[in-house]
Amino acid sequence: MKKTLFFLILLIAAGSVQAGDLITLANGMQFEGKVKRVEKCSVAFKVRGRMYEIPATDILTVVFENPSDRVYLDYLTTMAGDPDACLKGKQDAENYHGKAGLHMVLGVLFGPFAVIGAAVSSPTPATGSQTMLMSKNKELFGDPEYLSCYQKKARGINVGNAAIGWAAWVALVILSSL
């Protein structure tokens, strides 16, 4: 009897160790795992050793195993804003910000200084080459959530393009010395 009781307690304890955070999607599907990171428009979720990035617009509910967890507190502050505004800001920056060629040329001409300049810049929809004309989200241009996500995505694109230009210059120098 003692062995059976011990085995039952061990089994229950092992089950509670496996229990974790529960995500319910808008389509009704549920997943149990561990929420690793909460961003403005997505949640990073780990299930059976694999990491998944779920857009916040697809999530209906998130139930955390430990309500005092740092990730849970991040989730509460992040989800207080509008996740659609962040997603729209990233999409507008990707689709309409432009200036890729300019940053590549600056990377070729000024190398690391162009990369640093792009990293510290503050791109906005007003400074984007086509954002003011083409974006359907003009009402969000004053939203801090939209602007933060737009700026982060556009800055990343600009830094990447300046780095590509710098790498092209380095490759040209190496090839010309052969």
User: Is pTM, for the whole model, over 0.75?
Assistant: no
User: How far apart are alpha carbons 91 and 57 in whole angstroms?
Assistant: 14
User: How far apart are alpha carbons 132 and 127 in whole angstroms?
Assistant: 8
- Nearest in space to 35 (alpha carbons), one of 49, 21, 24, 55: 21
Band (pLDDT 50/70/90 cuts) for residue 5 is very low
- Backbone dihedral angles phi then psi of residue 122, each to the nearest 5 degrees: -125, 80
Q: Looking at this protein, which amino acid is placed at residue 122?
A: S
**2-80: which CATH number, 3.40.50.10600, 3.30.479.10, 2.30.30.100, 2.40.110.10?**
2.30.30.100
Q: Where exactly does CATH 2.30.30.100 map onto the chain? A: 2-80
Neighbours of 87 (CB within 10 A): 19
**pLDDT tens digits along 119-170:** 999 998 988 888 888 889 888 888 888 898 899 999 999 999 999 999 999 9
**At residue 4, does pLDDT exceed 80?**
no
Contact 146, 124 (CB under 8 A): no
Q: Look at the block and give the residue holding tokens 């940053």.
A: 103
Band (pLDDT 50/70/90 cuts) for residue 1 is low
Q: Residues 6 or more apart from 27 whose CB is under 8 A from it?
A: 58
Q: Look at the block and give the residue holding tokens 């909460």.
A: 38
